[in-house]
Structures are given as structure tokens and as C-alpha cells.
Structure 1
């Protein structure tokens, strides 16, 4: 029985994991079977390596992951950055000032570290759900070297308002809604799709031999780039429209079902 894809790219939150951030046994077994048949499994996530590597290890695999929505591609065994899109301090400052002015929680990520200016037990618990251990920094301190992403988070109505405000700005960076409660600010060329395309070139893999599965707006680039783009049923309509096919939801083991249906004969 033949394997149809050399690279299988998987979004993590809302796709691979259930809504309570769990991996099911059936999903793990299907992913391991795809890897056993020769596919390279690549997690493509808004998480940093600290939040993504434990997921890959729980599946029982190692390898390359695309993190920070394409901001940093990392080889997990050596914790080595293969490529990253970094931001300059002056580019980020207007977003930092906005968050401070509106008392919004935000963090700034380098490839391997997440830095915050405020850390309450409630916020720390939220980070813990994503295997993130943030580092506390002094407000007003210089930004870290080589940042790749800034994330603002809060209630949905608050993030809706931030999005409306920022859509009126003219600047050098991009932002993308990576979840109902999050907006990520990044280099304008940092996307999951571009990072996946770059990895495919390194591997010598034709895009027709790539399968990608995702659920949110930050997944659209990789779904459109892949030979087969699969949206899970819990995805917004715009994401489903960008995909070639739609599988069941993340609560119904959509990744497992998609692999069993499309990845091999």
C-alpha cells in the first residue's frame, strides 16, 4: 500500500489537539503509522518550540517543526534554528505602546523564549496549558535580541476591537488572528505557508507530495500551498474554502480520519 505524501504538516491547537489540549490515542497511532510509512511529520504551529516539542514527543517522534506561525523553523533534536524571520525593536514599539496604553496582556517571543511584563497566577495557568514557561521582564526594558513574534491576548470582544484598530494602521509588519483570543504580530513574510514551502525546497519535495491539516486563518497559507489541504470541521468557513477537503472536527479525531482516508492506499 502506497504512501501519497512525503511531508505531512499538522497544525496543533484546534486541529491536532482536542479543545482541552489533549492528544487521542487513535490520532497518535495514525501519525506514527504515517511516519513509519515514510512521511516526515512537521508540526506547523503558532506555538514556540517549548510548546510544540512536548506535543511531538508525546506522539513519539522527533524532527523539524515550524513554530511561531512560520517565524522560526527548528530542528528539535539539537534545538537548532534552521531559519527565522526576526523583527526590529522600532517595528514592534508601536504595538507594545498600544498594549500598554490599553492594559492588554502581550508577550514577545524569540525562537525559544517567551517574555512577559506581567505574570499573574491566572495568566501563568493559561501558559501552562500550552507547555509555556514565560520569562518575566521589566516594563520598559529593551526588547530581546532577535524577536520573531509578539502576541496580544484577551477576551474575544477585546481582541475583536484590537483587530479593528490595527486594520487601520499602516506599518511594516503583519498581524494575524491565530485564535479567537489571540493576535500575532510578525514579519510580513513569516507565514506557515512560506516556511513549509522553504522546508519542501530543502527536502526536495514537490508541493503535490505535501499534505497539510489546519483549522484557523493562520493555516490558510499552508493549506493552499500543499498538494492536499485539509480543514477540520470546526474551522471557520473562510478556512474551509481555502482547503481542498474538509474532515471531521478536532473533537472527532479529524487528523486521524484525514490520514486514514487520504495519506495512503
Structure 2
């Protein structure tokens, strides 16, 4: 049996309105109670992730800020893999560029971020990527469908998963990863089993070993039941 499951949050265990799927919470708790480690991996901040872990029922092992930070359990040592200066510098360039075109960029929770920069999706991501490319900025732009993120090159959920696996004393090949967005691609590729829920875009589905038939949190439950069938034969989730 796979020893750990790493899952994205928004769009994977939630619906499109960011409401957590209750079946997904039950599935996560079933895994945790059976000794399977569950890691929440997201573009969200550490403080957001800490609250979510507590409510859902995991031990606080997280990947946050799209791989820019990660931590083994709570209250363990937070590892910062990203480069906040690079992300902030790129944001300032984009802010000035779009301000000249009459569009203001709205930062999200800047004071709580250690590695990346996140802002509202009120610009064309491809136009922003062109600015980054033309200015040779050392970042990449991620559009998660909920926010736009700037992250230092070479940092992603996959690199964080690999480092975190070492701290957990297991191999990436012994982990399963589930996601729905472009910021999940590397994570799906690094894990032993990569799953995309049905609402994922084509590039994310192509990176996965398997794609669920159902969307959002229902797809997450479908995937967990497929790869951990023995646990759910005995659980009330067999009807979901």
C-alpha cells in the first residue's frame, strides 16, 4: 500500500467555490486513522494551511506556496525553498507594466508569505508571462484558477515533495499525489502514482497516471477508493 498521499486543496478537495467536500474530509480521516500520512499541498499560506490541517485532521505536514515552503508535522521546522526577493522583484515589474495600461494588481496576503507572491486574476496570464520572458525575470507564473502566483525558477510542488519525502523517511515512489491545476504537474510526475481529478486542464491530465471520472472533491474520493480499496471496504465511504 502507498505510504503517503499528497493532495492539492483548491479544486481538488473543494468545489469551484472553495467549499470543502465533506466526503473528501471523511476519506482523509480514514487514511490518517489507518496510518497513511496525508500531506496537504497548496498555493496557500502556511497560516491558512495550519488551520486547515487542524480542522481536517492531519498532523500538519504541508507543502505551501506552490512548493516554496514545506514542513514535516506541526510544529516542525518550516523549510523555505523559494526566493521571496525574486518573486517580489518580478511582481514590481508586472505592477508597473500593467499600471501603465490602467490595471492595478491586487496582492493577496503578502505579509504571510515567505517564498512566492500571489495576486488577483484580473490580467491575462499569457501577457504577464511574455513580460517575464522579455525581461528575463528569474520566476515563473502560475495560474491556479483561484489566483496568479510568481515563484522562483526551479521551485515547485514536485521539488518540495521530493525533499519532504526524505524528511518523512519514505521514497517519492511510495507516495500518491492528487491535483487539478498546472501547479500540480511536477508533483504528479514525482510521486509514485499521480492522479488528476476530472476538472483538471489537459496538461495536468497528461501528467497523471490516472484521471478520475468525477470532478473536484468527488474525484478525490474516487481516486482514494481506487488506490486504497481495502480501507474503504470497511468504511461508510463505500456508498460515496
TM-score for the superposition, normalised by structure 2: 0.84
How far residue 180 of structure 1 moved from its aligned partner, in angstroms, is 3.2
| Alignment pair present for 1:199 and 2:164 | yes
How far residue 184 of structure 1 moved from its aligned partner, in angstroms, is 1.5
How far residue 174 of structure 1 moved from its aligned partner, in angstroms, is 2.1
Which residue does the alignment assign to 2:9?
Answer: 12
> Following the alignment from structure 1 to structure 2, what is the Cα–Cα distance between the partners of residues 88 and 190?
11
| Alignment pair present for 1:73 and 2:70 | yes
1:91–1:27: structure 2 CA closer, same or farther, 3 Å change rule?
closer
Which residue does the alignment assign to 1:254?
Answer: 219
Q: Structure 1 unaligned segments of length 5 or more: list them.
A: 115-146
What is the RMSD of the two structures over their aligned residues, measured on CA atoms?
Answer: 2.2
Which residue does the alignment assign to 2:208?
Answer: 243
Deviations, residues 105-157 of structure 1 (Å, cap 9, x unaligned): 234746xx15xxxxxxxxxxxxxxxxxxxxxxxxxxxxxxxx411123233x5
> Following the alignment from structure 1 to structure 2, what is the Cα–Cα distance between the partners of residues 205 and 196?
11
Q: Structure 2 unaligned segments of length 5 or more: list them.
A: 99-103, 231-240
Matches within 5 A, 1:65-144: 65-75=62-72, 77-78=74-75, 80-87=76-83, 89=85, 92-102=88-98, 103-107=104-108, 109=110, 113-114=112-113
> Following the alignment from structure 2 to structure 1, what is the Cα–Cα distance between the partners of residues 216 and 186?
23
> Following the alignment from structure 1 to structure 2, what is the Cα–Cα distance between the partners of residues 168 and 236?
26
The aligned length equals 225
Q: Normalized per residue, which structure has more strand?
A: 1
Asked if 2 retains the 8 angstrom alpha-carbon contact of 1:99 and 1:105, the reply is no
1:23–1:89: structure 2 CA closer, same or farther, 3 Å change rule?
closer
Asked if 2 retains the 8 angstrom alpha-carbon contact of 1:9 and 1:44, the reply is yes
